[in-house]
Chain A
Amino acid sequence: MLENASVIEAIRAARKNDKKTALATVVRVHGSAYRREGAKMIIDEDEKRVGMISGGCLESDVAAVAKEVIASGIPVLKKYDMDEDLVWGLGLGCPGKVEIYIEPIS
Protein backbone atom coordinates (compact mmCIF):
# COMPACT_ATOMS: atom_id res chain seq x y z
CA MET A 1 0.00 0.00 0.00
CA LEU A 2 1.57 3.21 -1.21
CA GLU A 3 0.20 5.34 1.62
CA ASN A 4 1.15 3.00 4.45
CA ALA A 5 4.57 2.55 2.89
CA SER A 6 5.30 6.28 3.02
CA VAL A 7 4.16 6.56 6.66
CA ILE A 8 6.32 3.59 7.64
CA GLU A 9 9.26 4.99 5.75
CA ALA A 10 8.85 8.23 7.72
CA ILE A 11 8.81 6.30 11.02
CA ARG A 12 11.94 4.40 10.04
CA ALA A 13 13.68 7.61 8.97
CA ALA A 14 12.77 9.40 12.21
CA ARG A 15 14.11 6.50 14.25
CA LYS A 16 17.32 6.47 12.28
CA ASN A 17 17.81 10.21 12.78
CA ASP A 18 16.81 10.05 16.43
CA LYS A 19 13.85 12.39 15.87
CA LYS A 20 10.89 12.27 18.21
CA THR A 21 7.60 11.65 16.45
CA ALA A 22 3.88 11.37 17.01
CA LEU A 23 1.46 9.17 15.11
CA ALA A 24 -2.03 10.54 14.38
CA THR A 25 -4.67 7.94 13.46
CA VAL A 26 -8.31 8.40 12.49
CA VAL A 27 -10.00 6.12 15.04
CA ARG A 28 -13.67 7.06 14.68
CA VAL A 29 -15.80 8.65 11.97
CA HIS A 30 -19.47 9.58 12.30
CA GLY A 31 -21.11 10.55 9.05
CA SER A 32 -19.02 11.61 6.08
CA ALA A 33 -15.32 12.34 6.14
CA TYR A 34 -12.66 12.32 3.45
CA ARG A 35 -10.52 9.78 5.28
CA ARG A 36 -11.77 6.65 7.05
CA GLU A 37 -10.72 4.82 10.22
CA GLY A 38 -7.08 3.75 10.06
CA ALA A 39 -5.81 6.71 8.00
CA LYS A 40 -2.51 7.92 9.43
CA MET A 41 -0.22 10.90 9.57
CA ILE A 42 3.22 10.98 11.13
CA ILE A 43 4.55 14.23 12.55
CA ASP A 44 8.15 14.66 13.70
CA GLU A 45 9.60 17.15 16.17
CA ASP A 46 10.43 19.50 13.28
CA GLU A 47 6.72 19.40 12.36
CA LYS A 48 7.44 17.52 9.17
CA ARG A 49 4.29 15.62 8.16
CA VAL A 50 3.74 12.52 6.06
CA GLY A 51 0.28 11.10 5.33
CA MET A 52 -3.24 12.53 5.33
CA ILE A 53 -5.91 12.24 8.01
CA SER A 54 -8.45 14.57 6.38
CA GLY A 55 -9.01 16.42 3.16
CA GLY A 56 -6.53 19.03 4.34
CA CYS A 57 -8.45 20.95 7.01
CA LEU A 58 -7.34 19.10 10.15
CA GLU A 59 -3.67 18.51 9.42
CA SER A 60 -2.41 21.82 10.83
CA ASP A 61 -4.36 21.55 14.07
CA VAL A 62 -3.36 17.91 14.53
CA ALA A 63 0.28 18.84 13.94
CA ALA A 64 0.03 21.46 16.70
CA VAL A 65 -1.45 18.86 19.08
CA ALA A 66 1.27 16.42 18.01
CA LYS A 67 3.88 18.91 19.12
CA GLU A 68 2.40 18.92 22.64
CA VAL A 69 2.13 15.13 22.59
CA ILE A 70 5.80 14.80 21.65
CA ALA A 71 6.72 17.19 24.48
CA SER A 72 4.54 15.58 27.15
CA GLY A 73 4.74 11.95 26.07
CA ILE A 74 1.01 11.64 26.79
CA PRO A 75 -1.41 10.59 24.01
CA VAL A 76 -4.43 12.76 23.17
CA LEU A 77 -7.79 11.82 21.66
CA LYS A 78 -8.98 14.85 19.70
CA LYS A 79 -12.58 15.14 18.53
CA TYR A 80 -13.47 17.31 15.57
CA ASP A 81 -17.00 18.22 14.59
CA MET A 82 -16.70 19.15 10.95
CA ASP A 83 -20.10 20.80 10.95
CA GLU A 84 -19.17 23.47 13.45
CA ASP A 85 -18.72 26.30 11.01
CA LEU A 86 -18.46 28.76 13.88
CA VAL A 87 -15.47 27.02 15.36
CA TRP A 88 -13.67 26.67 12.11
CA GLY A 89 -14.99 29.63 10.23
CA LEU A 90 -14.36 27.57 7.14
CA GLY A 91 -17.88 26.55 6.31
CA LEU A 92 -16.79 23.05 5.36
CA GLY A 93 -20.38 21.90 5.50
CA CYS A 94 -19.35 18.29 5.89
CA PRO A 95 -21.71 16.66 8.38
CA GLY A 96 -19.03 14.40 9.80
CA LYS A 97 -17.44 14.00 13.20
CA VAL A 98 -13.90 12.69 13.29
CA GLU A 99 -11.86 11.45 16.23
CA ILE A 100 -8.11 11.38 15.93
CA TYR A 101 -5.76 9.64 18.36
CA ILE A 102 -2.38 11.28 18.61
CA GLU A 103 0.28 9.24 20.37
CA PRO A 104 4.02 9.58 20.84
CA ILE A 105 6.12 6.92 19.18
CA SER A 106 9.83 6.42 19.09
Chain B
Amino acid sequence: MKKSAAFDAWLAAVEMEKSGVIATLLQTNPTQGKLNSEGLFISKDHSFVGSLGDAYLEEQVIQLAKQKLAEKNPSSETRIFQLLNKQEVAIFIDVFVPQPNILIFGAGHDAIPVANFIAASGFRTTIVDQRPLYNTEERFPNTERIIARAADFKEKVIIGDNTYVIVMNHHLERDQEALTFALNTKAPYIGVLGPRSRRDRIINKIKASGAAVTESQMSRLYNPIGLDIGARTPEEIAISIAAEIIAIKNGYPGGFLKDSEFIHHASTVRGENG
Protein backbone atom coordinates (compact mmCIF):
# COMPACT_ATOMS: atom_id res chain seq x y z
CA MET B 1 0.00 0.00 0.00
CA LYS B 2 1.52 3.29 -1.08
CA LYS B 3 0.83 5.52 1.85
CA SER B 4 4.36 6.61 2.16
CA ALA B 5 6.10 9.69 3.45
CA ALA B 6 7.76 9.96 0.02
CA PHE B 7 4.45 10.07 -1.81
CA ASP B 8 3.10 12.68 0.60
CA ALA B 9 6.23 14.76 0.15
CA TRP B 10 5.74 14.55 -3.62
CA LEU B 11 2.10 15.60 -3.34
CA ALA B 12 3.10 18.57 -1.22
CA ALA B 13 5.83 19.60 -3.67
CA VAL B 14 3.46 19.51 -6.63
CA GLU B 15 0.87 21.49 -4.70
CA MET B 16 3.41 24.12 -3.76
CA GLU B 17 4.77 24.10 -7.32
CA LYS B 18 8.26 23.10 -6.25
CA SER B 19 10.45 20.86 -8.39
CA GLY B 20 11.01 17.35 -7.15
CA VAL B 21 11.51 13.72 -8.12
CA ILE B 22 9.75 10.63 -6.84
CA ALA B 23 11.44 7.31 -7.49
CA THR B 24 9.17 4.26 -7.45
CA LEU B 25 10.36 0.67 -7.59
CA LEU B 26 8.25 -1.07 -10.23
CA GLN B 27 7.34 -4.28 -8.49
CA THR B 28 6.89 -6.44 -11.54
CA ASN B 29 7.51 -9.71 -9.80
CA PRO B 30 6.66 -9.67 -6.10
CA THR B 31 8.63 -12.85 -5.39
CA GLN B 32 11.76 -11.65 -7.16
CA GLY B 33 13.25 -9.19 -4.72
CA LYS B 34 12.97 -8.60 -1.04
CA LEU B 35 13.37 -4.84 -1.22
CA ASN B 36 11.23 -3.03 1.28
CA SER B 37 10.71 -0.02 -0.93
CA GLU B 38 8.17 2.64 -0.09
CA GLY B 39 9.48 5.15 -2.63
CA LEU B 40 12.02 7.92 -2.41
CA PHE B 41 11.34 11.62 -2.85
CA ILE B 42 14.19 13.97 -3.74
CA SER B 43 13.51 17.70 -3.49
CA LYS B 44 15.03 20.53 -5.51
CA ASP B 45 17.36 21.33 -2.62
CA HIS B 46 18.43 17.66 -2.50
CA SER B 47 16.72 16.66 0.72
CA PHE B 48 15.27 13.14 0.77
CA VAL B 49 12.17 11.49 2.15
CA GLY B 50 11.48 7.74 2.19
CA SER B 51 13.58 4.82 1.04
CA LEU B 52 14.08 2.28 -1.75
CA GLY B 53 15.20 -0.44 0.63
CA ASP B 54 18.81 -0.56 -0.59
CA ALA B 55 21.49 2.05 0.12
CA TYR B 56 23.53 1.32 -3.02
CA LEU B 57 20.42 1.67 -5.18
CA GLU B 58 19.41 4.89 -3.45
CA GLU B 59 22.82 6.39 -4.08
CA GLN B 60 22.47 5.82 -7.84
CA VAL B 61 18.88 7.05 -7.94
CA ILE B 62 19.69 10.22 -5.98
CA GLN B 63 22.53 10.98 -8.36
CA LEU B 64 20.25 10.65 -11.38
CA ALA B 65 17.54 12.70 -9.68
CA LYS B 66 19.99 15.53 -8.96
CA GLN B 67 21.09 15.43 -12.58
CA LYS B 68 17.48 15.63 -13.79
CA LEU B 69 16.65 18.48 -11.43
CA ALA B 70 19.57 20.43 -12.88
CA GLU B 71 18.28 19.97 -16.45
CA LYS B 72 16.09 22.60 -17.99
CA ASN B 73 13.53 20.21 -19.48
CA PRO B 74 13.89 16.95 -17.59
CA SER B 75 11.73 14.02 -18.64
CA SER B 76 10.31 11.27 -16.50
CA GLU B 77 11.52 7.77 -17.38
CA THR B 78 11.97 4.19 -16.23
CA ARG B 79 15.60 3.21 -15.63
CA ILE B 80 17.10 -0.16 -14.87
CA PHE B 81 19.53 -0.23 -11.94
CA GLN B 82 21.77 -2.99 -10.71
CA LEU B 83 22.07 -3.93 -7.08
CA LEU B 84 25.37 -5.08 -5.59
CA ASN B 85 24.22 -8.69 -5.98
CA LYS B 86 23.70 -8.00 -9.74
CA GLN B 87 19.93 -8.21 -9.43
CA GLU B 88 18.30 -5.72 -11.79
CA VAL B 89 15.43 -3.51 -10.71
CA ALA B 90 13.28 -1.08 -12.66
CA ILE B 91 12.75 2.32 -11.07
CA PHE B 92 10.38 4.92 -12.42
CA ILE B 93 11.92 8.36 -12.04
CA ASP B 94 9.03 10.82 -12.03
CA VAL B 95 10.17 14.42 -12.38
CA PHE B 96 7.92 17.31 -11.52
CA VAL B 97 8.86 20.76 -12.74
CA PRO B 98 6.39 23.61 -12.19
CA GLN B 99 4.87 25.27 -15.23
CA PRO B 100 6.08 28.78 -15.91
CA ASN B 101 3.92 31.66 -14.75
CA ILE B 102 2.77 33.97 -17.52
CA LEU B 103 2.58 37.68 -16.90
CA ILE B 104 0.82 39.89 -19.44
CA PHE B 105 1.33 43.65 -19.43
CA GLY B 106 -1.80 45.15 -21.00
CA ALA B 107 -5.49 44.39 -20.47
CA GLY B 108 -6.77 45.42 -23.90
CA HIS B 109 -9.28 43.46 -25.96
CA ASP B 110 -6.58 41.53 -27.78
CA ALA B 111 -5.14 40.33 -24.47
CA ILE B 112 -8.37 38.47 -23.69
CA PRO B 113 -7.83 35.55 -26.11
CA VAL B 114 -4.13 35.42 -25.14
CA ALA B 115 -5.06 35.08 -21.46
CA ASN B 116 -7.81 32.57 -22.31
CA PHE B 117 -5.60 30.20 -24.32
CA ILE B 118 -2.72 30.47 -21.88
CA ALA B 119 -4.84 29.93 -18.75
CA ALA B 120 -6.62 27.00 -20.44
CA SER B 121 -3.22 25.43 -21.16
CA GLY B 122 -2.60 25.28 -17.42
CA PHE B 123 -0.29 28.24 -16.91
CA ARG B 124 -0.80 30.50 -13.94
CA THR B 125 -1.65 33.76 -15.68
CA THR B 126 -1.39 37.31 -14.34
CA ILE B 127 -2.56 40.52 -16.01
CA VAL B 128 -0.88 43.82 -15.15
CA ASP B 129 -2.64 47.03 -16.17
CA GLN B 130 -3.27 50.31 -14.39
CA ARG B 131 -6.86 50.62 -15.67
CA PRO B 132 -9.34 49.08 -13.20
CA LEU B 133 -12.15 49.17 -15.78
CA TYR B 134 -10.18 46.98 -18.20
CA ASN B 135 -8.23 44.77 -15.82
CA THR B 136 -11.22 42.89 -14.40
CA GLU B 137 -12.05 39.31 -13.51
CA GLU B 138 -15.01 39.46 -15.85
CA ARG B 139 -12.75 40.14 -18.83
CA PHE B 140 -9.95 37.87 -17.62
CA PRO B 141 -11.40 34.85 -15.80
CA ASN B 142 -8.98 32.29 -14.31
CA THR B 143 -6.23 34.88 -14.00
CA GLU B 144 -4.75 37.00 -11.26
CA ARG B 145 -4.90 40.71 -11.87
CA ILE B 146 -2.62 43.46 -10.64
CA ILE B 147 -3.72 47.08 -10.97
CA ALA B 148 -0.44 48.93 -11.11
CA ARG B 149 1.32 51.75 -12.88
CA ALA B 150 5.01 51.70 -13.62
CA ALA B 151 5.96 53.43 -10.37
CA ASP B 152 4.35 50.52 -8.48
CA PHE B 153 5.84 47.63 -10.47
CA LYS B 154 8.75 47.12 -8.08
CA GLU B 155 6.41 46.83 -5.14
CA LYS B 156 3.50 44.93 -6.70
CA VAL B 157 4.83 42.83 -9.58
CA ILE B 158 7.05 39.81 -8.98
CA ILE B 159 8.93 38.34 -11.94
CA GLY B 160 11.10 35.31 -11.17
CA ASP B 161 13.25 33.04 -13.32
CA ASN B 162 10.17 30.95 -14.15
CA THR B 163 7.98 33.86 -15.24
CA TYR B 164 7.35 34.43 -18.95
CA VAL B 165 6.42 38.01 -19.82
CA ILE B 166 4.23 39.32 -22.63
CA VAL B 167 4.23 43.06 -23.30
CA MET B 168 1.11 44.18 -25.18
CA ASN B 169 -0.08 47.55 -23.92
CA HIS B 170 -0.63 49.06 -27.38
CA HIS B 171 0.94 52.17 -25.91
CA LEU B 172 4.50 53.12 -26.62
CA GLU B 173 5.25 54.68 -23.28
CA ARG B 174 3.64 51.92 -21.23
CA ASP B 175 5.40 49.26 -23.29
CA GLN B 176 8.67 51.06 -22.64
CA GLU B 177 7.99 51.08 -18.89
CA ALA B 178 6.96 47.42 -18.83
CA LEU B 179 9.94 46.39 -20.93
CA THR B 180 12.40 48.42 -18.84
CA PHE B 181 11.07 46.64 -15.76
CA ALA B 182 11.00 43.16 -17.34
CA LEU B 183 14.49 43.41 -18.85
CA ASN B 184 15.91 43.89 -15.36
CA THR B 185 14.41 40.65 -14.07
CA LYS B 186 15.39 37.02 -14.64
CA ALA B 187 12.41 36.39 -16.95
CA PRO B 188 13.59 33.82 -19.55
CA TYR B 189 11.06 35.06 -22.10
CA ILE B 190 9.94 38.61 -22.80
CA GLY B 191 7.63 38.76 -25.81
CA VAL B 192 6.80 42.17 -27.23
CA LEU B 193 3.82 42.64 -29.55
CA GLY B 194 4.32 44.70 -32.67
CA PRO B 195 6.79 44.98 -35.52
CA ARG B 196 10.52 45.09 -35.11
CA SER B 197 10.70 48.79 -35.98
CA ARG B 198 8.50 49.55 -32.98
CA ARG B 199 10.65 47.38 -30.75
CA ASP B 200 13.78 49.20 -31.94
CA ARG B 201 12.13 52.51 -31.17
CA ILE B 202 11.37 51.38 -27.64
CA ILE B 203 14.85 49.95 -27.09
CA ASN B 204 16.44 53.17 -28.36
CA LYS B 205 14.30 55.19 -25.97
CA ILE B 206 15.39 52.95 -23.08
CA LYS B 207 19.02 53.45 -24.07
CA ALA B 208 18.49 57.22 -24.43
CA SER B 209 17.17 57.28 -20.88
CA GLY B 210 20.62 56.18 -19.81
CA ALA B 211 19.94 52.47 -19.19
CA ALA B 212 22.21 49.86 -20.74
CA VAL B 213 20.58 47.06 -22.74
CA THR B 214 22.87 44.06 -22.78
CA GLU B 215 23.13 41.23 -25.29
CA SER B 216 21.90 38.80 -22.66
CA GLN B 217 18.80 40.92 -22.17
CA MET B 218 18.21 41.09 -25.92
CA SER B 219 18.55 37.30 -26.21
CA ARG B 220 15.50 36.91 -23.95
CA LEU B 221 13.48 39.39 -25.99
CA TYR B 222 11.08 37.86 -28.51
CA ASN B 223 9.88 40.26 -31.15
CA PRO B 224 7.96 40.12 -33.37
CA ILE B 225 6.12 37.90 -30.92
CA GLY B 226 4.73 34.47 -31.80
CA LEU B 227 5.19 31.63 -34.25
CA ASP B 228 5.18 32.39 -37.95
CA ILE B 229 1.64 31.32 -38.87
CA GLY B 230 0.46 34.49 -40.56
CA ALA B 231 -1.92 35.25 -37.69
CA ARG B 232 -4.34 38.12 -38.35
CA THR B 233 -7.26 38.01 -35.93
CA PRO B 234 -6.82 38.47 -32.14
CA GLU B 235 -7.54 34.75 -31.71
CA GLU B 236 -4.99 33.68 -34.34
CA ILE B 237 -2.40 35.99 -32.81
CA ALA B 238 -3.16 34.55 -29.36
CA ILE B 239 -2.61 31.00 -30.66
CA SER B 240 0.65 32.08 -32.25
CA ILE B 241 1.85 33.58 -28.94
CA ALA B 242 0.68 30.62 -26.83
CA ALA B 243 2.37 28.18 -29.25
CA GLU B 244 5.65 30.11 -29.07
CA ILE B 245 5.57 30.00 -25.26
CA ILE B 246 4.88 26.25 -25.23
CA ALA B 247 7.71 25.63 -27.72
CA ILE B 248 10.18 27.63 -25.63
CA LYS B 249 9.07 25.99 -22.37
CA ASN B 250 9.60 22.54 -23.93
CA GLY B 251 12.81 23.49 -25.72
CA TYR B 252 11.41 22.89 -29.21
CA PRO B 253 12.00 25.00 -32.31
CA GLY B 254 8.40 25.34 -33.53
CA GLY B 255 7.56 24.69 -37.17
CA PHE B 256 5.77 21.88 -38.96
CA LEU B 257 5.92 18.26 -37.81
CA LYS B 258 4.99 17.13 -41.33
CA ASP B 259 7.17 14.17 -42.37
CA SER B 260 9.09 14.21 -39.06
CA GLU B 261 10.16 10.78 -37.97
CA PHE B 262 9.59 11.57 -34.30
CA ILE B 263 7.15 13.79 -32.45
CA HIS B 264 9.11 14.06 -29.21
CA HIS B 265 12.87 14.32 -29.03
CA ALA B 266 15.00 12.54 -26.47
CA SER B 267 15.76 15.05 -23.72
CA THR B 268 19.42 15.16 -24.72
CA VAL B 269 18.81 16.39 -28.26
CA ARG B 270 16.34 19.14 -27.53
CA GLY B 271 16.61 22.54 -29.15
CA GLU B 272 18.94 25.31 -28.10
CA ASN B 273 16.33 26.86 -25.87
CA GLY B 274 16.02 23.63 -23.95
- Please determine whether B24 and A38 come into contact, CB atoms closer than 8 angstroms: no
- Please determine whether A37 and B78 come into contact, CB atoms closer than 8 angstroms: yes
Bound CA span A39–B203, Å: 42
B1-44 CB contact bits vs A (8 Å, 1 = yes)? Answer: 11100010001001100000000101110100000000000000
- How many chain A residues sit at the interface, stated as a range, is 20 to 34
- Please determine whether B1 and A101 come into contact, CB atoms closer than 8 angstroms: no
Complex: chain B residue closest to A77, CB-CB:
B28
Interfacial chain B residues near A73, Cβ < 8 Å: 1
Contact partner, B15, options A2, A8, A104, Cβ 8 Å: A8
Bound CA span A3–B96, Å: 12
Bound CA span A48–B27, Å: 25
- Please determine whether A27 and B99 come into contact, CB atoms closer than 8 angstroms: no
Bound CA span A3–B95, Å: 15
- Please determine whether B263 and A32 come into contact, CB atoms closer than 8 angstroms: yes
- Please determine whether B98 and A1 come into contact, CB atoms closer than 8 angstroms: yes
Interfacial chain A residues near B3, Cβ < 8 Å: 105-106
Bound CA span A99–B26, Å: 11
Q: Does A28 contact B (CB under 8 A)?
A: yes
Contact partner, B1, options A5, A8, A37, A104, Cβ 8 Å: A104
Contact partner, A1, options B75, B77, B122, B263, Cβ 8 Å: B122
- Please determine whether A103 and B24 come into contact, CB atoms closer than 8 angstroms: yes
Residues 49-106 of A contacting B (Cβ, < 8 Å): 73-75, 77, 99, 101, 103-106
Q: List 27 A-B contacts (CB under 8 A).
A: A1-B98, A1-B122, A2-B121, A3-B122, A5-B14, A5-B15, A8-B15, A25-B92, A28-B78, A32-B263, A36-B264, A37-B76, A37-B77, A37-B92, A38-B75, A38-B94, A38-B95, A73-B1, A74-B30, A75-B26, A77-B28, A99-B78, A105-B1, A105-B2, A105-B3, A106-B2, A106-B3
| B-to-A contact residues, CB < 8 Å | 1-3, 7, 11, 14-15, 24, 26-28, 30, 75-78, 92, 94-96, 98-99, 121-122, 263-264
Query: A1-B98, A27-B26 given. 9 additional CB < 8 A pairs?
Result: A5-B15, A5-B122, A8-B11, A23-B2, A32-B263, A37-B75, A37-B77, A37-B92, A101-B26
